[in-house]
Every structure is written in C-alpha cells, then in structure tokens.
DNA sequence: CTTGACTCTCCCCTTGGGACAGCCTTTATA
DNA sequence: TATAAAGGCTGTCCCAAGGGGAGAGTCAAG
C-alpha cells in the first residue's frame, strides 16, 4: 500500500506543509519519491513514525529535538531524561503565563472599576466617608511636588497600601508655592516612621465631584463644587481632599484627558 | 540628551537586535538617525515608548498587535478589549500546557516504576500474590489473538483499570492454535457484562521470573522457571499468569528488546 | 595615528501558514 | 470524442521575533 501526500496527510492529521518540511529535514522521509514528478509516497512504516512525531510535537518538542530522539532512541525509557527536561520547561511556561494572567487581570479589574466610577461622572453628590487608616507625609511646597511625597510613602508602605492615593489640603485658599499639603495612602496597618504619620483619618459628610481630565483644569471643578456649597450655605471643613482615582497607567504613561480625580470638600452637619 | 543604541539598550533592557527590528517595523523609531553613518540615536521620549512596548511584550502581544495599540491608543481603558482577549489566549495556553504536563508526568511515572522493577531483573523469586479483583475475558485461540481480548476489556472497563494487563493460561502444556486463555485487567470495581467476568482472582505463593525481550523468546524464560520448579519438586497449579509490565509504549511503538513480562507459576504449599 | 569598542547591513535559523505559478489527472460538457 | 474546467500535486518566496555571526565602517581615547 502506498499513499500520496494528501491522503497521508489525512491519515496522520499532519498538514502537507509539515510533511514536506519533515521530509526536507529528514525527520519523516517518504518511502518512495517519484524520480520524475517528485511526488512523495508514504507507506505503513511511515505511519508509525508519524504517530511518534505527532506525540512528541504535542509535547512541545522542537523538530530538532524530535529528529535527535527518533534517530537515536526507540523506547520511552531511553528518553526519560528528555521528558523530564521538557516537563520542567513546560512548568516554567505555566508559571510565567500564570504571572501574566494575574497581572493582566489586575489591570482589567482596575479599569472596570474606573469605568463604573465614570458612570456617575460630573455629578456633584453628597456622601458619607468612613474613617480610614492612612499613612501620611506632610509637606510644604508646590502642588507639583506631591509626587515626591507619594514616592516616600510607597517606599515605606508599598505592600500595605489599600486604596487610591490622596492629598489633604490644609490651606483654605489656593497657594501657588507654599501650599500645606499632606500626601497619603490608605493602608492596612503600620506605624509611624520618620516623617510619616500613620493614623485614623476621620470621615464625615462631604460634597464630592469627579473631575475628568488633566490636573491643570482642576480649578474649573473646584469652581463648580464651591458654587454648589455656597448656594446651600454649607460650612466647609479643612482639610479638603483630592483622591487620585486614575492617573498615569501601568502600560501607557497615560492620556491626561482620562485622568480621574475626586474632589471631596467636607462640610459641617 | 541622546543615547547610542548600546546605551539605550542598557537603559531599556531591550536587545540591540530588537531595537533595530522595532525601528524597521516603525514601532520604536529613533529620534535621530545619522544620515551618513546610519547610527541610531534615541531620546527621553523614546524611553517612554520603550517602557510601554516592554510591558506589552511581557503580556505576550505580538509586534503587530503592539504597533496597532501604540499607534491608535494611549490609555489603558481604551485597550480593555485587547487585554481581555489576550488574557483568554493566555488562559488557553495555560490549560494546554497543564494537559501536557499531566500527560508527560504519567509517562515519567510509569517509566520510573518500570525502572525499579528492572532492578531485580532475571532473578527467579518466590513471592506471595494478593487476591485481586479482575475483569476477565476467556477465549480459545492463538497466543497472538490476545490483543483482541484486551481490546474488549479496555472498551468496557477503561476507566476502572487498576494495574497491568495479564493473561491466565489454563493449558498445562504449550498449545499452538487452540490455547485456553483468559485475558484480564485488575479493576477497581464493576460487574459482569456480556462475556466478561468480573471476580476476585485468588492469590497465593508463586515462582516468578521477569522476562525481558520479545514475546517470541518467552520459551527460554519458561524453561528456566520450570527447571527451578522441578529442582525443588514443587507442584504447580493452573492457571499460570503472564503479567505484561511493559509492551509497546505511548510514544514509540516500542523496542521489543525492552518489553518486560513477568511469568508467575503458582505452586501448592 | 592606532586601537578597541561600537555600530552598521546582510544572511541563516525556527515552524509552519499563505500566496502563487506550473504540471497532471479526472470529470463534465458541447 | 475533443475540450475545458476543477482540483490535486509540485516548488518557490514571504512572514513571524528575534539570536548568532560575518565583514565592514565609525567613534573616541591615548
């Protein structure tokens, strides 16, 4: 019995392309090649080899490895070593892919959260904020210096961070250069270290507005929120907060037009 | 500030080869290319892009995908879809690799078992065999027909099989054509179905010899074992057993020289 | 000016898939 | 019956995502 390449391909479920390649690499040589037409013809013995090759391919051996194996060995027990090596490689790949999966998943979750938050975007609302434990680093300086503060906090409490970065503003008014700012992160636990205070941050009732866009345009949102507060004659408390829901991302440096910042002005009840 | 390709490679941990490729594909174009020497020079902006590319590469995006993403988007939220798709791909890979891992593992375990068995190879020994539950299919025919019997058993009890295939020989002598053979598998549980008897197979004391090599040479091992038995004036019982420790393998059809068959002749106490 | 460190381009390798041109056989139609 | 179309077969070239290496040109320090 002899089979043409198409038929043999159907028998073995190896593509014609692959069969030609295996021939070229002398991994699976047809039993007969027509001298004039170049047509490949296969026989039963080829089928046996093809089965072995298919299984080794499923086990992720490269063609070079497969060639070596079928040229030199003909029993499972003789390639135990190779099987063990291959298994280790595969375990490594699994571990790597699992890492990636977890990592992508966390980004996806974060973005979905943000999406939900955007739903009620641009609506001023009043709400209750719970008391939370924070690690805080107080500083005087320019608004643009807060990055440094977050750096200090992240270095000391990286693994305990439990929420979005925030700033507390202790000035009643806008100050260009010498603002009194406290950068902070919600944390799970921890205690004071040099310059960083870990404490409960009292909650309360606040007026909140989600600001979407670059930090430079925050002024506009502040104007809106104060209009609302003044219209109702609320008495505001200090400090006010900015919660940085979304800034530069993990993948992209980020498009400032998508930054999300929640402004919280606390009021007396 | 501008960096040569080597320096930039060190900064970004991207290989020089990769950088040249990314340039060619217009994924990461150097800020400046010397018109005469062709030297590539990079700047800070390139570093930002390089970071994004690195992360996407870690997440297993292809260069084509990366190019599309960085050309069209600049925020995580915009590529949520791609991230989800990629995550699904990765989950599939994990599943596939896990399958492979399990499969290779079972071969490894089997081979290791066999290796241990070979340790005390070729030594005739006397031992006790426990009673075991078997599914058995009795037939009359040639020795070479037993494959059919095992096929029937495997089809009906595939998932319950609990040990190596065996044959029970009810003839006291060698019979060429019309041997009375019972093919059987140890099973976990099950009950009689057409032609197949499920029952306890009584154990007892037996003389055992491991035969290594093709089935055609079993005669030699039988000679050895009967010499041993006759020398001691043991009374043998019927049926005798052959346990097929190792035959054709999962990967290789198998080298008959490595086949392992244990002959068990039961004796009266 | 020399030397050693860089950098350039070009080619080979992996494991097939896709496209394309040319040859052969089989089948359907005029 | 002659012819044409369909489909199978062949080979060749391009592509992914870089690593390895050759051979030649370039830069900067001594």
Q: Which residue in the set A52, A253, A258 is minimally distant from B77, CB to CB?
A: A258
**A231 pLDDT higher than 80:** yes
CB B153 within 8 A of CB B197: no
- Three-state SS for chain A is CCEEHHHHHHHHCCCHHHHHHHHHCCCCCCCEECCCCCCEEECHHHHHHHHHHHHHHHCCCCHHHHHHHHHHCCCHHHHHHHHHHHHHHHHHHHHHHHHHHHHHHHHHHHHHHHHHHHHCCCCCEEEEECCEEEEEEEEEECHHHHHHHHHHHHHHHHHHECCCCEEEECCCCCCCCCEEEEEEEEECCCCCECCEEEEEECCEEEEEEEEECCHHHHHHHHHHHHHHHHHCCCCECCCEEEEEEECCCCCCCCCHHHCEEEEEEEECC
Closest CA to the C1' of D20: that residue is: B17
CB B254 within 8 A of CB B232: no
A258 and B75: CB-CB below 8 Å?
yes
Which position has the higher pLDDT, A123 or A208?
A: A208
**Range with lowest mean pLDDT among A38-47, A146-155, B58-67:** A38-47
For residues A256 and A139, membership in a common domain is answered with yes
For residues B248 and B190, membership in a common domain is answered with yes
Hey, is the C-beta of A236 within 8 angstroms of any chain B C-beta? no
For residues B166 and B251, membership in a common domain is answered with yes
Domain that holds residue A34: 3-72
Q: Which residue in the set B48, B55, B101 is minimally distant from A250, CB to CB?
A: B55
For residues A161 and A136, membership in a common domain is answered with yes
- B86 belongs to a structural domain: no
Range from B44-53, B136-145, B210-219 that averages highest in pLDDT: B44-53
pLDDT at B72: 85
For residues A147 and A21, membership in a common domain is answered with no
For residues B137 and B196, membership in a common domain is answered with yes
CB A18 under 7 Å to nucleic chain C: yes
pLDDT at B39: 94
pLDDT single digits (tens) B73-124? 878 888 888 899 899 989 999 999 999 999 999 989 988 887 777 665 578 8
**A78 pLDDT higher than 90:** no
For residues B51 and B129, membership in a common domain is answered with no
pLDDT single digits (tens) A102-121? 999 999 998 888 877 766 65
- B92 belongs to a structural domain: no
Hey, is the C-beta of A250 within 8 angstroms of any chain B C-beta? yes
Hey, is the C-beta of A154 within 8 angstroms of any chain B C-beta? no
- B48 belongs to a structural domain: yes
pLDDT single digits (tens) A176-220? 788 899 999 999 988 898 889 999 999 999 999 999 889 889 888
- Choose among B66, B87, B53: nearest CA to A105: B87
For residues A168 and A260, membership in a common domain is answered with yes
What percent of chain A has pLDDT above 70? 98
Distances from the Cα of B31 to the Cαs of B1, B3, B5, B25, in angstroms? Answer: 11, 10, 11, 15
- The separation, in Å, between residue B98 CA and nucleotide C29 C1' comes to 56
Q: How many CA atoms lie within 13 A of A62 on its CB side?
A: 4
Range from A64-68, A155-159, B15-19 that averages highest in pLDDT: B15-19
- B49 belongs to a structural domain: yes
Q: For the domain that residue B224 is a member of, what is the CATH number? A: 3.20.80.10
For residues B262 and B190, membership in a common domain is answered with yes
For residues A145 and A256, membership in a common domain is answered with yes
pLDDT single digits (tens) B224-269? 888 899 999 998 888 999 999 888 877 777 778 888 899 999 998 7
B-chain residues near A115 (CB < 8 A): 77, 80
Q: For the domain that residue A28 is a member of, what is the CATH number? A: 1.10.1660.10
For residues A91 and A62, membership in a common domain is answered with no
Q: What is the count of structural domains for chain A?
A: 3
pLDDT at A121: 59
Give me the DSSP letters along B139-154. EEE-GGGHHHHHHHHH
- The separation, in Å, between residue A18 CA and nucleotide D10 C1' comes to 15
- B213 belongs to a structural domain: yes
B94 and A98: CB-CB below 8 Å?
yes
For residues A239 and A195, membership in a common domain is answered with yes
Minimal CA separation from B223 to chain A, in Å: 28
pLDDT confidence bin for B8, thresholds 50/70/90: very high
- The separation, in Å, between residue B2 CA and nucleotide D27 C1' comes to 15
Final residue of a structural domain among A44, A72, A100: A72
- B65 belongs to a structural domain: yes
Tokens (6 digits) for B174 = 């060698």
pLDDT single digits (tens) B148-191? 888 888 888 777 888 888 999 988 777 777 888 999 999 988 78
């Amino acid at each position: 019995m002899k089979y043409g390449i198409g038929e043999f391909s159907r028998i073995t479920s190896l593509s014609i392309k692959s069969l030609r390649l295996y021939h070229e690499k002398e991994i699976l040589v047809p039993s007969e090649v027509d001298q004039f037409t170049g047509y490949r013809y296969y026989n039963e013995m080829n089928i046996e080899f093809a089965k072995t090759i298919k299984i080794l391919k499923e086990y992720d051996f490269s063609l070079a490895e497969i060639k070596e194996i079928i040229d030199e060995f003909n029993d499972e027990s003789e390639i135990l070593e190779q099987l063990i090596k291959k298994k280790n490689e595969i375990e490594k790949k699994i571990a790597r892919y699992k890492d990636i999966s977890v990592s992508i998943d966390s980004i996806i979750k974060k973005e979905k959260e943000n999406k939900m938050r955007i739903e009620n975007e641009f609506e001023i609302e009043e709400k209750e904020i719970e008391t939370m434990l924070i690690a805080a680093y107080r500083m005087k300086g320019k608004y643009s210096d807060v990055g440094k503060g977050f750096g200090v906090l992240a270095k000391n409490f990286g693994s305990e961070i439990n929420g979005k970065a925030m700033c507390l503003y202790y000035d009643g008014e806008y100050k260009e250069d010498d603002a009194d700012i406290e950068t902070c992160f919600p944390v799970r636990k921890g205690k004071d270290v040099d310059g960083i205070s870990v404490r409960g941050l009292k909650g309360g009732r606040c007026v909140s507005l989600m600001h979407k866009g670059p930090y430079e345009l925050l002024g506009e949102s502040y104007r809106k929120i104060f209009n609302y507060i003044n219209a109702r004659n609320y008495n505001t408390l200090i400090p006010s907060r900015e919660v940085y829901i979304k800034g530069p991302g993990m993948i992209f440096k980020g498009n400032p037009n998508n930054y999300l910042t929640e402004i919280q002005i606390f009021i007396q009840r």
